[in-house]
Amino acid sequence: MRDINKASLLLDFAIKEGLSIAPLEMDVTNDLEINSIIKNIVDESGRIDVLVNNAGYGLIGYFEDLQMEEIRKQFETNFFGVLRVTQKIIPIMRNQKYGTIVNISSGAGRVGFPGISAYVSTKFALEGFTESLYYELQPLGIKVIIIEPGVTKTNFFRNSIYGQRAKSSESTYSKSLAKISNNIDIMHQHATNPQEVAGVFLEAIRLKEPNLRYIVGNDIAMILESKNELSDSEFRRMMMQNINQN
C-alpha cells in the first residue's frame, strides 16, 4: 500500500474472513521501495507466484485544461508504475519457470471517453504493453492476463483528482465536465460490485490456460459489443448521442 495507515479496514476484513494478509508500504513510483519490498517477500517466501498491478488513480479534466506535469504524474503511477514492478518480478518468475502477472486495466483501455483523456491514455498504453508481454513471457511459463472492469462500486471516483485548470468555472469545458461528473454519479449507482471483479480475477489465475482479456461489467460489455458490431462512424455517432443526452 502507498499509505500503510489506511490498512486498518483491510486487516479488519481479513480477520473476519480468516485470511492471512500482511500489508506492506510501497509506492510504485519509487524504485528503492519496490526493490526493498520484493527482496523482503522473496527472502521470506522464496518465490512470487502472482503479481497484480492495480495501483492507479483517475485524473479528471478535458485535455486542453490539463497541465503536462499532471499528465506525467498520471502516467508515472498508472503506466510506468506497472512497468517498474513488472520488470523486477519477471526474473523471479522466469527462474521459477512459473508465475502469473495480472494487469488491472479498464473498459477505458478499449474505448475513449471525454473528460478523462489522460486516464484513458494510460489504460490504452497498458493494454498494448500487456498484450506484447503475453507473447514474450508465454514461452517461459509465465501467464499474462488483463482485467477490464467497467464502472465499479469502489472509492475510485471519490479519490480521483481534478486538474487544477479543469476546476475553474471559467473553463470552456466547465459545463461539459459537470455533466460528465453527474453521469458518473448515476453510473456509480448501477455499477459492478467489486466482488464480481475479484471473482473473475480468481477464476482466471486458477486456470491452466486463461484468456488474455476478461471484461467485467454489463456497462462496458455492451459498449464493446456495439463497437464491434457498428461501423466506426456509427459507433462515434452513438457515443456522441449518449454523451449529449445525459
119 is catalytic: yes
- Sorted by sequence, the CB contacts under 8 Å of residue 50 that are 6+ apart come out as 99, 100, 101, 102, 205
**Active-site entry in 62, 119, 173, 214:** 119
Level-2 CATH architecture, domain 47-220: 3-Layer(aba) Sandwich (3.40)
- Sorted by sequence, the CB contacts under 8 Å of residue 215 that are 6+ apart come out as 107, 148, 150, 221, 224
Instruction: Give the pLDDT band of residue 26 (cuts 50, 70, 90).
Output: very high
pLDDT tens for 75-111 read: 999 999 999 999 999 999 999 999 999 999 999 999 9
Q: What is the mean pLDDT of residues 125-149?
A: 98
**Integer angstrom CA distances of residue 91 from 18, 24, 27, 42, 163:** 32, 21, 21, 12, 38
- Residues facing 147 on adjacent strands: 104, 214
Instruction: Give the pLDDT band of residue 117 (cuts 50, 70, 90).
Output: very high
The Cα 123–Cα 16 span in angstroms is 34
Cα-flanking dihedrals φ and ψ of residue 103, to 5°? -105, 120
Question: Where do the structural domains in the chain lie, given as residue ranges?
Answer: 47-220
Q: What is the pLDDT of residue 246?
A: 52
Q: What is the pLDDT of residue 186?
A: 77
The Cα 176–Cα 24 span in angstroms is 40
Query: What does pTM read for this prediction?
Result: 0.92
pLDDT tens for 37-78 read: 999 999 999 999 999 999 999 999 999 999 999 999 999 999
- Distance, first Cα to last Cα, the chain: 36
